[in-house]
Amino acid sequence: MSKYTFKLDGHGFNKSWVRSFKTLDSFLNSIEAQSQFAQHDEGKRKELLTKVFTECNDSGPKPSTSLDAKAASKAEVKK
């Protein structure tokens, strides 16, 4: 599995695409998400999609903060 992919229940999701949604609701309401997990009922589909959204946003490198950058800068000076 690619590090850019999250897999669940036979579906492979593009993490970047999932992360492009700012909120869970906007993801759940997207026409692409609504076409997923068609074999399940509405409740199960929402549960699975929520897991997809949560996992994709929890995994992978996070953007560094300005504080991180300052700390890194100080460490570089100490060397």
Point out which residues bind other proteins (CB under 8 A): 1-2, 4-5, 7, 10-14, 16-18, 30-32, 35-36, 39
| Minimal distance, residue 51 CB to other proteins, in Å | 14
Greatest C-alpha distance within the chain: 58
**Which of residues 11 and 70 has its CB atom nearest to other proteins in the complex?**
11
Q: Using the minimum distance from each CB to other proteins, give the nearer residue, 10 or 63.
A: 10
Instruction: Output DSSP code: residue 29.
Output: T
Phi, psi dihedrals of residue 37, rounded to the nearest 5°: 50, 45
